[in-house]
Structure 1
């Protein structure tokens, strides 16, 4: 358990100094603060100079951050690969497939340094799953077409809305500020002709933008006898 930024940064600096082959990182959120980018550059440059490969995952919103793009350009001289996804898990850093760092608190003032081979291997598999789905930074992000001119971002927001997430949580998951998130929700409501949040959820479900339109006639599809089945019980 690492408590406080000083202790966390000291552990990261030590792991960086001992790293010789590979770094895997997940950096959720949109634009990163300039101080964080400066610290990241200071930590990454020695790795690049030693020929260490670095693979980093950002969210799509980072593509519009000039600071982040400038940082990426600075480190692109080495064996560095950058990809982006719409949604990411929390921050993750793995050095040489032997030690991983994850945050414990929302403010990231408490972190865990993990060295158990089983845990580290599990986190590597999570990273590889995300990496396989991500889009290289130099390629354009394409979204599945949706009816009525609804953008891919708005489609994702629609999915999160009907799952019950509040604006702040949606914005955090997509790496954007709440104001931008609410602007997307307003455009979504206008496109679907919604006058309230309750109606918006109903119209999203009926519109088909998330898949097949839902309706009373489809509620029981696949369950003609309406039996209640107890879910299978199994361990992890």
Structure 2
């Protein structure tokens, strides 16, 4: 195209999507898409590399700072006496708290804890259906633990029940492993022998904390044990909602909607996709006869779905019926194909 035609759109030249024709500088020709993409991605790569460098520097500075208590001339007496043992405020490398930066360092620490484990492993695995490759990667460790007589218990979201991979994994591990599920679980947690715990330290799970401070570990064990008592064994059916036409998951979604959470937040907490969440909300609206989100909130409250589940009705008792929907004041618009 003539150079003058590109003047109203300067970004075409700034991004080098067009470049001058070597034979006639008054004309512009398109740049190869591969060349443009390589140049743009190079800038992104440089930015990511710089950010990773800053993170590494910050972690190194933090670890240097945590060892200052050990170098203090007062570390051997008074409040500083526990600095090197995890009992004081100085948390040096290999003591009460370690920052593990990078997947390789995290994996090394996990392998060391696995090798030292002798009695029990407790895990919380949030998210959706467990992928086959994730389960396969951990299978050899689980079999090794089973060979040493170590017992394993795992907590998952209810949605994990819909994947055959978890059932196959438990079958291969045998009676050494047990799994239960909940609507919602806490962030990922791994506990070895109730003495060392691992938790993520960022959303991407590329940084983790290794915790050996006894009070913190005991607190995490208590959290796990209480969630375990509330959870449903993987092989047992989920409790009935007691309301005809409302599934267990839809009841959980209704309670979170009543708390004012957005679709994306609900999906993350239940370990499902946003699309699946919206499909359940659409069915919930249809079942309750709600034509809008506002009306759905009212219907949820009327049906008693805005609180914790009620105790299951005794056998033979009729399920709770839904309130009759009010006559609509206008025709209900057709459901958008994107709602599901």
Q: Per the shorter chain, which TM-score range?
A: 0.7 to 0.9
Distance 2:237 2:251 in 1: 18
1:29 — aligned with what? Answer: 127
- How many residues are paired up? 211
Are 2:241 and 2:251, in contact at CA under 8 Å, matched by a contact in 1?
no
Q: 2:286: which partner in 1? A: 190
Q: TM-score, normalised by structure 2?
A: 0.59
Indicate if the aligned counterparts of 2:139 and 2:169 stay in contact, CA closer than 8 A: yes
Return 5+ residue gaps in structure 1 as ranges: 214-236
Is residue 145–residue 152 contact of structure 1 (8 Å, CA) maintained in 2? Answer: no
In structure 2, the partner of 1:6 is 104
Q: Is the 8 A contact 2:238 2:248 kept in 1?
A: no
C-alpha distance after superposition, 1:49-81 (max 9, x if no partner): 1110111111211111012222121112x4222
The Cα shift of 1:202 comes to 2.4
Counterpart of 2:217 in structure 1 is 120
Q: Which residue of 2 aligns with 1:107?
A: 204
Matched, 1:160 2:256: yes
1:84 aligns with 2:181: yes
Q: State TM-score, norm by structure 1.
A: 0.84
The equivalent of 1:43 in structure 2 is 141
Does the Cα contact within 8 Å between 2:170 and 2:178 map onto a contact in 1? Answer: no
Contact kept? 2:183, 2:270, Cα under 8 Å: yes
Separation in 2, partners of 1:171, 1:128:
25
Structure 2 residue 227 is matched with structure 1 residue 137: no
Q: What CA distance in whole angstroms lies between the structure 2 residues aligned with 1:137 and 1:172? A: 21
Tell me, which stretches of 5 or more residues in structure 2 are unaligned?
1-98, 311-321, 323-340
Report runs of 4+ in structure 1 exceeding 6 Å deviation.
none
1:10 partner SS: helix
* Cα pair 1:92 1:101 within 8 Å, conserved: yes
**How far does residue 18 in structure 1 lie from its aligned partner after superposition?**
0.6
* 2:156 pairs with one of 26, 41, 58: 58
Q: Distance in 1 between matches of 2:300 and 2:113?
A: 47
Aligned to 2:306: 210
**Mapped partners of 2:215, 2:272: distance in 1:** 34
Higher relative contact order (CA 8 A, sep 6+): 1
Q: What do you get for the CA RMSD once the two structures are aligned?
A: 1.8
Report what 1:219 is aligned to. none
SS at match of 1:149: coil
1:207, CA displacement in angstroms?
A: 2.9
1: distance between equivalents of 2:195 and 2:158? 28
